[in-house]
Amino acid sequence: MNLRLLPWGAILAIVLGLAVGAGLPGKTAPPFTAVPETGEGGPEIRLGPVTVREYHDNGEWNLLAADGAVYSYSRKTVKGTGVVLSLGKGETLKGAFIRAPEAFWDFDEKTVALPEGGHADRQGGWTGELSAGTMDLAGAVLRVPGPASVAGPGFSVAGTNMEWWWRKGKITLDSPKSRIAPALLPGQKG
């Protein structure tokens, strides 16, 4: 457990070092990027551009990069704006990213809420448009109760109540509407 706190200790040391360096005579601090208020009370660490990586015992990891963030020390949460999420490593998620205007990562609950939805990209031409949803990192599932769409090479599907089980490679939608693009035959011109 102490090894999991080591990255947070390093982040705190860097932030304190930057604060002391900015306070020395003859130096000016860079302008601070506006970050969201958590409204939770308790101690907070406000960060400009930041990258947070959560490592797991099995060697996998999750990554959140944000233009601005607030880390609530007492609740173990990060609220970020201008967010890019990268899920795990390995072939099942290689090149998978979710971009969102805002995200709220709860380390104890192992969830990431996307209150304004987002856009998903993956290598191979896969994309997705998501309304507000929640990622369950422990269960490896993204749930979007509202409208969502997924497009890949040669097809697209849209519906509501999407669940993406990324480790299983399974996506489910209610009321799906799909479009399959016809494949070109050899020698045929598009």
Please report whether residue 187 resides in a domain: no
- Domain containing 170 — which CATH number? 2.60.450.10
Residues 83 and 18 in one domain: no
Residues 25 and 38 in one domain: no
Residues 24 and 77 in one domain: no
Residues 37 and 27 in one domain: no
Q: Two tokens at 30?
A: 């860079």
Please report whether residue 185 resides in a domain: no
Residues 54 and 148 in one domain: yes
pLDDT at 117: 93
Residues 15 and 70 in one domain: no
pLDDT at 74: 85
Residues 147 and 84 in one domain: yes
pLDDT at 127: 87
Please report whether residue 87 resides in a domain: yes
Residues 3 and 38 in one domain: no
pTM of the model: 0.68
Nearest to 74 by CA among 44, 52, 46: 44
Distance from C-alpha of 142 to C-alpha of 137, rounded to nearest angstrom: 8
Please report whether residue 189 resides in a domain: no
Please report whether residue 42 resides in a domain: yes
Q: Two tokens at 109?
A: 């609950």
Angle at 174 between CA 170 and CA 177, to 5 degrees: 95
pLDDT at 161: 92
Residues 143 and 70 in one domain: yes
Q: With H, G, I as helix, E, B as strand and everything else as coil, classify residue 17.
A: helix
Residues 171 and 153 in one domain: yes
Residue 22 structural domain: 1-31
Total number of domains constituting the chain: 2
Q: With H, G, I as helix, E, B as strand and everything else as coil, classify residue 190.
A: coil
Residues 93 and 13 in one domain: no
Question: How do the pLDDT tens digits run along the chain, 190 residues long?
Answer: 566 666 776 677 676 666 656 555 554 445 544 445 545 567 888 888 888 887 777 777 778 889 999 988 888 888 999 999 887 664 455 667 889 999 998 988 989 999 999 998 877 778 889 999 998 988 888 899 999 998 888 888 899 999 988 778 788 888 878 777 665 445 555 5
pLDDT at 113: 94
Residues 15 and 43 in one domain: no
Please report whether residue 11 resides in a domain: yes
Dihedral sign (CA 132, 174, 97, 1): positive
DSSP per-residue codes, 119-182: EEEETTTEEEEE-SEEEETTTTEEEEEEEEEEEETTEEEEEEEEEEETTTTEEEEEEEEEEEPP
